[in-house]
Protein backbone atom coordinates (compact mmCIF):
# COMPACT_ATOMS: atom_id res chain seq x y z
CA UNK A 1 0.00 0.00 0.00
CA UNK A 2 1.57 3.22 -1.18
CA UNK A 3 0.92 6.62 -2.64
CA UNK A 4 2.29 6.41 -6.18
CA UNK A 5 3.65 9.26 -8.31
CA UNK A 6 1.02 10.68 -10.66
CA UNK A 7 1.77 11.00 -14.37
CA UNK A 8 1.45 14.67 -15.32
CA UNK A 9 -0.07 16.20 -18.42
CA UNK A 10 1.12 16.24 -21.25
CA UNK A 11 2.65 12.76 -20.84
CA UNK A 12 1.94 10.51 -23.86
CA UNK A 13 0.89 7.79 -21.38
CA UNK A 14 -2.33 9.73 -20.83
CA UNK A 15 -3.28 9.20 -24.49
CA UNK A 16 -2.68 5.45 -24.60
CA UNK A 17 -5.44 2.88 -24.37
CA UNK A 18 -5.21 0.69 -21.28
CA UNK A 19 -5.11 -3.08 -21.61
CA UNK A 20 -7.88 -5.39 -20.42
CA UNK A 21 -7.22 -6.90 -17.00
CA UNK A 22 -7.15 -10.70 -17.10
CA UNK A 23 -5.45 -11.58 -13.79
CA UNK A 24 -7.67 -11.05 -10.74
CA UNK A 25 -5.14 -11.57 -7.98
CA UNK A 26 -3.49 -9.93 -4.98
CA UNK A 27 -1.39 -7.72 -7.27
CA UNK A 28 -4.57 -6.21 -8.74
CA UNK A 29 -6.07 -5.74 -5.27
CA UNK A 30 -2.86 -4.01 -4.11
CA UNK A 31 -2.99 -1.71 -7.17
CA UNK A 32 -6.59 -0.78 -6.31
CA UNK A 33 -5.53 0.09 -2.75
CA UNK A 34 -2.62 2.17 -4.04
CA UNK A 35 -4.93 3.98 -6.46
CA UNK A 36 -7.32 4.85 -3.63
CA UNK A 37 -4.52 6.18 -1.41
CA UNK A 38 -2.98 8.12 -4.31
CA UNK A 39 -6.35 9.61 -5.29
CA UNK A 40 -7.09 10.71 -1.73
CA UNK A 41 -3.64 12.30 -1.40
CA UNK A 42 -3.94 14.15 -4.73
CA UNK A 43 -6.81 14.97 -3.81
CA UNK A 44 -9.36 13.71 -6.33
CA UNK A 45 -12.59 11.75 -6.64
CA UNK A 46 -11.49 9.40 -9.42
CA UNK A 47 -8.26 7.87 -10.67
CA UNK A 48 -7.19 5.23 -13.19
CA UNK A 49 -4.14 3.00 -13.38
CA UNK A 50 -2.81 5.05 -16.36
CA UNK A 51 -2.70 8.07 -14.01
CA UNK A 52 0.10 6.24 -12.17
CA UNK A 53 1.76 4.92 -15.33
CA UNK A 54 0.15 1.47 -15.46
CA UNK A 55 -1.80 0.76 -18.64
CA UNK A 56 -4.48 -1.51 -17.16
CA UNK A 57 -8.26 -1.01 -17.22
CA UNK A 58 -8.91 -0.30 -13.55
CA UNK A 59 -10.38 2.80 -11.93
CA UNK A 60 -11.28 3.81 -8.39
CA UNK A 61 -13.99 6.39 -7.68
CA UNK A 62 -14.95 7.89 -4.32
CA UNK A 63 -17.45 10.73 -4.35
CA UNK A 64 -17.36 10.94 -0.56
CA UNK A 65 -15.81 8.95 2.29
CA UNK A 66 -19.20 8.13 3.84
CA UNK A 67 -20.36 6.25 0.76
CA UNK A 68 -16.87 4.84 0.26
CA UNK A 69 -14.76 3.98 -2.74
CA UNK A 70 -15.71 1.67 -5.55
CA UNK A 71 -13.30 -0.16 -7.87
CA UNK A 72 -14.21 -0.89 -11.48
CA UNK A 73 -12.15 -3.33 -13.54
CA UNK A 74 -12.55 -3.37 -17.33
CA UNK A 75 -15.46 -0.89 -17.24
CA UNK A 76 -17.37 -0.02 -20.40
CA UNK A 77 -20.43 2.09 -21.12
CA UNK A 78 -23.20 -0.13 -22.50
CA UNK A 79 -25.93 2.54 -22.61
CA UNK A 80 -26.21 6.30 -22.17
CA UNK A 81 -29.11 8.70 -22.02
CA UNK A 82 -29.82 11.20 -24.75
CA UNK A 83 -30.14 13.96 -22.15
CA UNK A 84 -26.93 16.01 -21.95
CA UNK A 85 -25.49 17.42 -18.76
CA UNK A 86 -22.61 19.84 -18.12
CA UNK A 87 -20.28 19.45 -15.18
CA UNK A 88 -16.91 20.88 -14.20
CA UNK A 89 -14.15 18.34 -14.77
CA UNK A 90 -10.44 18.21 -14.09
CA UNK A 91 -7.73 15.61 -13.55
CA UNK A 92 -5.22 14.52 -10.93
CA UNK A 93 -2.76 14.67 -13.85
CA UNK A 94 -3.55 18.34 -14.47
CA UNK A 95 -4.16 19.78 -10.99
CA UNK A 96 -5.63 23.25 -10.62
CA UNK A 97 -7.48 23.23 -13.95
CA UNK A 98 -11.17 22.57 -14.57
CA UNK A 99 -13.68 23.31 -17.30
CA UNK A 100 -17.30 22.40 -17.99
CA UNK A 101 -17.65 19.27 -20.12
CA UNK A 102 -20.93 18.09 -21.66
CA UNK A 103 -21.70 14.38 -21.39
CA UNK A 104 -24.80 12.18 -21.22
CA UNK A 105 -26.64 12.68 -17.91
CA UNK A 106 -27.03 8.95 -17.20
CA UNK A 107 -25.14 5.77 -18.11
CA UNK A 108 -25.19 2.02 -17.61
CA UNK A 109 -21.82 0.38 -17.36
CA UNK A 110 -20.60 -3.20 -17.35
CA UNK A 111 -17.50 -3.92 -15.28
CA UNK A 112 -15.76 -6.56 -13.22
CA UNK A 113 -15.02 -6.61 -9.52
CA UNK A 114 -11.57 -7.29 -8.08
CA UNK A 115 -12.63 -10.97 -7.94
CA UNK A 116 -13.56 -11.02 -11.63
CA UNK A 117 -17.34 -11.04 -11.17
CA UNK A 118 -19.15 -9.23 -14.02
CA UNK A 119 -21.77 -6.66 -12.96
CA UNK A 120 -23.80 -3.83 -14.45
CA UNK A 121 -24.58 -0.53 -12.76
CA UNK A 122 -26.60 2.55 -13.67
CA UNK A 123 -25.56 6.02 -12.61
CA UNK A 124 -26.61 9.60 -13.16
CA UNK A 125 -25.38 13.03 -12.14
CA UNK A 126 -21.85 13.29 -10.74
CA UNK A 127 -21.30 9.52 -10.62
CA UNK A 128 -22.20 9.24 -14.33
CA UNK A 129 -19.77 12.07 -15.09
CA UNK A 130 -16.98 10.34 -13.14
CA UNK A 131 -17.55 6.97 -14.77
CA UNK A 132 -17.52 8.46 -18.28
CA UNK A 133 -14.47 10.60 -17.47
CA UNK A 134 -12.45 7.65 -16.11
CA UNK A 135 -13.54 5.25 -18.87
CA UNK A 136 -12.43 7.89 -21.39
CA UNK A 137 -9.03 7.95 -19.66
CA UNK A 138 -8.81 4.15 -19.91
CA UNK A 139 -9.54 4.54 -23.63
CA UNK A 140 -6.68 7.04 -23.99
CA UNK A 141 -8.96 10.09 -24.16
CA UNK A 142 -7.71 12.80 -21.80
CA UNK A 143 -10.57 14.98 -20.53
CA UNK A 144 -9.35 18.13 -22.35
CA UNK A 145 -10.07 16.37 -25.66
CA UNK A 146 -13.78 16.78 -24.83
CA UNK A 147 -13.38 20.59 -24.84
CA UNK A 148 -13.65 22.97 -27.78
CA UNK A 149 -10.27 23.86 -29.29
CA UNK A 150 -10.40 27.32 -27.71
CA UNK A 151 -11.22 26.03 -24.21
CA UNK A 152 -8.61 23.26 -24.54
CA UNK A 153 -5.88 25.74 -25.55
CA UNK A 154 -6.85 28.07 -22.70
CA UNK A 155 -6.76 25.19 -20.17
CA UNK A 156 -3.34 24.01 -21.40
CA UNK A 157 -1.88 27.54 -21.24
CA UNK A 158 -3.28 28.05 -17.75
CA UNK A 159 -1.79 24.71 -16.62
CA UNK A 160 1.59 25.57 -18.14
CA UNK A 161 1.55 28.90 -16.30
CA UNK A 162 0.62 27.20 -13.00
CA UNK A 163 3.39 24.64 -13.50
CA UNK A 164 5.99 27.36 -14.17
CA UNK A 165 4.89 29.26 -11.05
CA UNK A 166 5.13 26.11 -8.91
CA UNK A 167 8.59 25.34 -10.29
CA UNK A 168 9.80 28.83 -9.30
CA UNK A 169 8.46 28.54 -5.76
Catalytic member of 37, 89, 134, 153: 134
- 107 CB burial (10 A radius; 0-12, 13-18, 19+): buried
118 in Cβ contact with 129 (< 8 Å): no
Is residue 117 part of the annotated active site? The answer reads no
Number of H helices, E strands in the chain: 3, 7
CA distance 128 to 68: 16
105 in Cβ contact with 157 (< 8 Å): no
CA distance 15 to 7: 11
Q: What angle do CA 31, 107, 136 make, to 5 degrees?
A: 50
Chain center to CA of 86: 17
Q: Which residues are known catalytic residues?
A: 134
Amino acid sequence: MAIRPIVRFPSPLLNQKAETVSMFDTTLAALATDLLETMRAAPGIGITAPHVGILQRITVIELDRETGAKTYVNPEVVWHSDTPSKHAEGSVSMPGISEDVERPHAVRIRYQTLRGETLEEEADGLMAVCLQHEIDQLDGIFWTQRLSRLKRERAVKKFEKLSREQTRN
